Amino acid sequence: MTLKDLSLTALTEAAEGVIRPVGAFLLEQKVAQDQVETKSLNSLVSHVDKEAEARLVKGLSAVLPEAGFLAEEGTGSGDGHVRFRWVVDPLDGTTNLIHGLPVFCVSVALVDGDDPVIGVVYDPTRDECFTAFKGGGTRLNGQPVQCSGRVQLSDALVATGVPHWDFTRMEDYLAALTAFAKGTRGLRRMGSAAIDLAYVACGRFDIFFEYSLQPWDIAAGLLLVQESGGITCDFGGESEPQALLSGRETFAAAPGILDEGLSVIRNAFG
């Protein structure tokens, strides 16, 4: 099967049809303190994440039976050999949902090797569904969106994820935070990397940066940014797909802000 054999428009619509009801399911959930499991330091999970993943895997398997999975709660970890994989975060913003903070989403990408070809990020709280397929632009609830046209760092709104388990680059991170705090309109921490990237794609944020993410946090969001005219790269400015999908370093920006933003990151992270 080649990419040409796939109708990306139809697949994206079908994926959205699977994802929206899972988002609606998330919206109904409350997680009691004794239902929270800790996978590792500050990495939480509950029955909600697991049930959402099961529903997505069932639905997406029917959409494209040939595709494998790489999903946060464990589905498909042995599927590395297949060409097409669904990269799934059933609930991005788990800590927010557990604490009752209404900022979370479902994030699903279809990747061809390491290249995202479909991306869907659905925020059920605001009923906002961001979709993109390769070459087709980015849409929000069906309407085309673009990343911001801002051209000066001093006009930028910057999103980030604060380190909460990998503190090896904390000093560098704080240096970047200081420079952005002093040189922009401000900083935001949503608690969902997928929403951060979707917001870069639709021009709400001008920059997003975070280190030590995972493929399922960013696979869909990277494509949303790329298809909206934005730039995605690592902290050195490289955009090699495998390195980018690993989530080790994620930087996304509107093109007019790229150079100034990246120079802050390069200075801070050396």
Footprint on residues 89-148 left by Ca ion (CB under 5 A): 89, 91-92, 94
Residue 128 contacts residue 140 (beta carbons within 8 Å):
yes
Which stretch in 84-92, 117-125, 220-228, 236-244 sits in contact with ligand IPD by CB under 6 A?
A: 84-92
**Nearer to ligand IPD among residue 6 and residue 219 (C-beta):** 219
How far is residue 135's CA from residue 184's CA, in Å, rounded to a whole number?
A: 32
Footprint on residues 224-253 left by ligand IPD (CB under 6 A): none
Residue 5 contacts residue 66 (beta carbons within 8 Å):
no
Burial (0-12, 13-18, 19+ Cβ within 10 Å), 50? middle
Distances (CA, A) of 192 to 10, 82, 97, 161, 182: 27, 28, 11, 8, 24
**Nearer to ligand IPD among residue 2 and residue 40 (C-beta):** 40
53 makes contact with ligand IPD (CB under 6 A)? no
72 makes contact with Ca ion (CB under 5 A)? yes
Shortest Cβ 185–Ca ion spacing (Å): 26
Residue 79 contacts residue 70 (beta carbons within 8 Å):
yes
Structure tokens given for 16: 């959205």
Tell me, residue by residue from 182 to 211, as one string, x for binding to ligand IPD by CB under 6 A and - for no binding.
---------xxx----------------x-
Q: Are strands 115-123 and 128-133 parallel, antiparallel or unpaired?
A: antiparallel
Question: What are residue 106's DSSP bridge partners?
Answer: 122
**Nearer to ligand IPD among residue 84 and residue 216 (C-beta):** 216
Residue 213 interaction partner, one of ligand IPD, Ca ion, none, beta carbon < 5-8 Å per kind: ligand IPD
Shortest Cβ 240–Ca ion spacing (Å): 22
